[in-house]
Structure 1
Amino acid sequence: MISRLVESELDYALDDLSDILHTCVQNGASVGFVLPFSPDEAREYWRTHVWPSAQSGALDMFAARDAGRIVGTVQLIPATMPNQPHRADVAKLLVHPKAQRKGLGRALMTALEERARQLGRTMLVLDTRSTDPSLILYQSLGFQIAGEIPNYCRNPFENRLEPTTYMFKDLS
């Protein structure tokens, strides 16, 4: 089941979201963090970086649930600049490794796209490490490659730089 997380659910969701982020990073997800990465750092990310934006309405969070627990999430961040009222960013698509390969990433992205359309956003933009398997998912969802930046992000396991691919999807 996919739903938008509302402000009253944020504190309740913290443990599950922290576990998802921590576990995904431990398994090699390149979502802005590198090892070592502690459960406390995962909690702090949600509390200090995401909660204020979610509470102010600057982003929408979506959750995939299984047996009452949150096992996946993604964020929709509408652009705020006057010349970009049609655009939004996709951020932090995460599915707990135990829940992967069940269509939850696709379902989260479908819900995100529906919400983007409700908000009048017709252009979605995201970036992903070029070697990440999520690239295949995004392409299967109709995202197109805009370009690649070499040496953009650090590998989560090793002290080496990797390229990032920028992608977009026109929803109009």
Structure 2
Amino acid sequence: MALLITSLSPAEAQALLPQLHALLHDAVDSGASVGFLPPLPAAEALHYWQSVVAAVAAGSRVLLVARHSGQAGLLGTVQLDLATRPNSLHRAEVSKLLVHRRARRQGVARQLLLALEDQARQLARTTLVLDTRHGDIAEQLYQEMGYQFVGLIPEYFLNSDRQLHATAVYYKLLELAIDEKLRVLPPIVAV
């Protein structure tokens, strides 16, 4: 079955809140370091996803989801958090890469990242940054996909084991096609 990855509008994201909620719960329950600790209260998860929908509506975030074509259930999701300050409009943060346990080790995360990078290019976002739990299997994926390791921040977050863990910081510089570069160049002003 083909993997279908789509960028959600605010209305589509709102309609998929129960499935997004289930993805987040699955990630937290399986020990993923995604900013929440188990047990994840339903109200906290709902509040989080509502804030994501609001950010998508405001144009400051892109929300991608993966599913098998012809099937309703979500397999994964990832977000591109767009920097909004005037000096950082070329930059974005990759966040909340979640793949349901039933779909892991099947290339879903890789396909989500590739689609996210395409979205970033379309938005002329050429500098991507992310952080992940040091030692997590996700580090291998990021490295394989060309993300460059910057360094570690020790004792950065509390994990489900109630211990402080380091986060690994990565970046990737994306190339734009010629026509995309022309779209983002400042206009030439005759003097």
Instruction: State the TM-score bracket (shorter-chain normalisation).
Output: over 0.9
Q: Is the CA contact 1:16–1:71 (under 8 Å) kept in the aligned structure 2?
A: no
CA drift of 1:171 comes to 0.5
CA drift of 1:35 comes to 1.9
The number of equivalent residue pairs is: 170
Counterpart residue number, 1:68: 72
1:151-170 mapped onto 2 (5 Å cutoff):
151-156=155-160, 158-170=161-173
CA drift of 1:41 comes to 2.5
Q: Which runs of 5+ in 2 are unaligned?
A: 176-191
**TM-score normalized by the length of structure 1:** 0.95
CA distance in 1, matches of 2:145, 2:136: 15
Q: Is the CA contact 2:134–2:168 (under 8 Å) kept in the aligned structure 1?
A: yes
Higher RCO (C-alpha under 8 Å, 6+ residues apart) = 1
Q: 1:18 aligns with which of 17, 21, 24?
A: 21
CA distance in 2, matches of 1:146, 1:79: 19
CA distance in 2, matches of 1:148, 1:135: 12
CA drift of 1:44 comes to 2.2
Query: What is the percent sequence identity of the aligned residues?
Result: 45
Matched, 1:120 2:124: yes
CA RMSD of aligned residues (A): 1.1
CA distance in 1, matches of 2:58, 2:163: 36
Larger Rg: 2
CA drift of 1:10 comes to 1.6
Q: Is the CA contact 1:146–1:166 (under 8 Å) kept in the aligned structure 2?
A: yes
**TM-score normalized by the length of structure 2:** 0.86
CA drift of 1:105 comes to 0.5
Counterpart residue number, 1:44: 47
Q: Which runs of 5+ in 1 are unaligned?
A: none
Matched, 1:55 2:57: yes
CA distance in 2, matches of 1:10, 1:124: 23
